[in-house]
Structure 1
């Protein structure tokens, strides 16, 4: 079995806000988000795209389309306020139950009131999934407090609605540092929701910061192999450090893939003392399609050498 793991609210936020040329929520096997709260709580509000785990007429929990869960990249379960995972393995026995046509694509699991709902369901789902089932730490209570703008009362999302869903910038440091593209950075509502107080713009286009007391750093750099970001790494790092004391900072480039990820990793290496390898892996978990081009990788390697006095990461490896 794939197992059960905790999922920090920031992790789910970043899962929801991944995109390629459109939101990854449009991909049918990308995210299965399950709400284990009561019907009343679910109807009041829930995390966008979540579906509630239903009960059969016999009063047993239904597992939605278990044969499809093996293809889902992220299966996340949440209840009201799950705080921790139990230290003992738990495996619920399935009951053999006659099911009617309405339940033909689901498996039935008996309810055990002695275990938290999210963990109970995660333990039952793990036998069907290829990847670990994720239990949202802090549940809906914590997630909705951090990301109120991702709450919804909508219970059915049509494909065309998911096509038009506008992802938010990914979160690098909780409630402090974000990374995104030009379109996201130009969105007044996104700036307001994330409480952005400063922008680091490494694209060639200017961006308006809508908060009156905010500050912007614009380093106009083309996304080319000859472009130089290395000379600006100290300026970027010191600017972000200074602005984080005031509020959240958004690092942006045109597509939010190459230049912005380069600048963000340079900051993590400088201020968090990450090696290039560690910064790369950390950022890849936040944004799955981040990809500095080869010229920027060499500049990050030189930055690592300057910080540590010697190269730490072998950038000749295919991963870079």
Structure 2
């Protein structure tokens, strides 16, 4: 039994947006998203690709189309579960002889178990990975990411192939990490309320042209010896100013896997006064396809010395 883990809305958002050549949602064993709300609520709207879990004779009926044992992520949500600190009311078949008064006293001491937890415990008997319970349920997730709501029930393979992922969320509602195509998409700018760009590429987007207050354009080519180090202090200052103004910032490069990732790691090191290793892990957990050149890793090690006064992370170790 794999057990249950509480999943922040940001984590599910980033899971939905993982991509290789195509969206990872096209992979049958990547994500199983289960909705345990009533049918009426599910039909009204649900998270994209979510299956509704039905109940028959008081038992959850899991979707037969999914091989739960092989699934990388299994996420279960109800309307608004916020904690795993709830107890299932276990009905003992041999407790019929107990006095009803004792039963009522025992029931009053128990917390009601959310439907997501109840279903998650059933699902966890069939998975190798921990089952993720979405914190805040559908209500919180849909409020934060309204553009991932849908009424669509059946997704054809070609529709998943055409799915356009959104930038990864690094700091909740503050910093996003993406690629050039996403930075040029007006719908993404609107949905995420992007107010500033950090462009680390030689290309230009149609947004914030000529506005140095909202656009920091670092024209560094994507090469094995690209030098980002001289710009890191300016980059961190630019982003920090916008965070103080409650402006949402999008950091991007051509593919969003090398230069922009290095810039994001550098900012987290500065902003949180934390090590390269810890900042790397934080970005990697959001952007699973991150691949940094050796040159940028060395520059980040030098930046760690600037930020913390010493080199703490051994970049020879396979921490990345």
The normalised TM-score by structure 2 is 0.89
How far apart are the structure 1 equivalents of 2:125 and 2:91?
A: 10
- 1:252-293 CA distance string (max 9 Å, x none): 000000001000000000111121000011111101111211
Which residue of structure 1 aligns with residue 107 of structure 2? none
Which stretch shifts more, 84-93 or 175-184?
84-93
Q: Secondary structure at the match of 2:165?
A: coil
How far apart are the structure 1 equivalents of 2:282 and 2:112?
A: 36
Which residue of structure 2 aligns with residue 242 of structure 1? 241
Which residue of structure 2 aligns with residue 184 of structure 1? 182
Q: Is the 8 A contact 1:4 1:133 kept in 2?
A: yes
Q: Secondary structure at the match of 1:208?
A: coil
The aligned runs of 1:78-117 (5 Å cut-off) are 78-86=77-85, 114-117=112-115
- 1:17-67 CA distance string (max 9 Å, x none): 0101110000000000000100000000000000100133x4532022398
Q: Is the 8 A contact 2:32 2:66 kept in 1?
A: no
- 1:223-274 CA distance string (max 9 Å, x none): 1122110010001100000112241000000000000100000000011112
| Structure 1 runs of 4+ with >6 Å offset | 89-93, 210-214
Which residue of structure 1 aligns with residue 118 of structure 2? 120
Q: Secondary structure at the match of 1:231?
A: helix
Q: Which runs of 5+ in 2 are unaligned?
A: 93-110
Which stretch shifts more, 61-70 or 226-235?
61-70
How far apart are the structure 2 equivalents of 1:138 and 1:146?
A: 11
How far apart are the structure 2 equivalents of 1:25 and 1:91?
A: 36
Q: Is the 8 A contact 2:275 2:313 kept in 1?
A: yes
1:140 aligns with 2:127: no
Q: Secondary structure at the match of 1:55?
A: strand
Q: Which runs of 5+ in 1 are unaligned?
A: 94-112
Which residue of structure 1 aligns with residue 96 of structure 2? none
Residue 6 of structure 1 and its aligned partner are, at CA, apart by 0.3
CA RMSD of aligned residues (A): 2.1
Which residue of structure 2 aligns with residue 168 of structure 1? 166
Q: Is the 8 A contact 1:81 1:138 kept in 2?
A: yes
Q: Is the 8 A contact 2:304 2:310 kept in 1?
A: yes
Q: Is the 8 A contact 1:91 1:124 kept in 2?
A: no
Which residue of structure 2 aligns with residue 107 of structure 1? none
Q: Is the 8 A contact 1:90 1:123 kept in 2?
A: no
Q: Is the 8 A contact 1:170 1:180 kept in 2?
A: yes
Q: Is the 8 A contact 1:34 1:76 kept in 2?
A: yes
Counterpart selection for 1:203 from 168, 184, 201: 201
Relative to structure 1, is the Cα distance of residues 67 and 164 closer, same or farther in structure 2, using a 3 angstrom cutoff?
A: closer
Which residue of structure 2 aligns with residue 270 of structure 1? 270
Residue 69 of structure 1 and its aligned partner are, at CA, apart by 0.6
How far apart are the structure 1 equivalents of 2:112 and 2:60?
A: 15
Residue 210 of structure 1 and its aligned partner are, at CA, apart by 6.2
The normalised TM-score by structure 1 is 0.89
Q: Secondary structure at the match of 2:238?
A: helix
Which residue of structure 1 aligns with residue 28 of structure 2? 28
Which residue of structure 2 aligns with residue 100 of structure 1? none
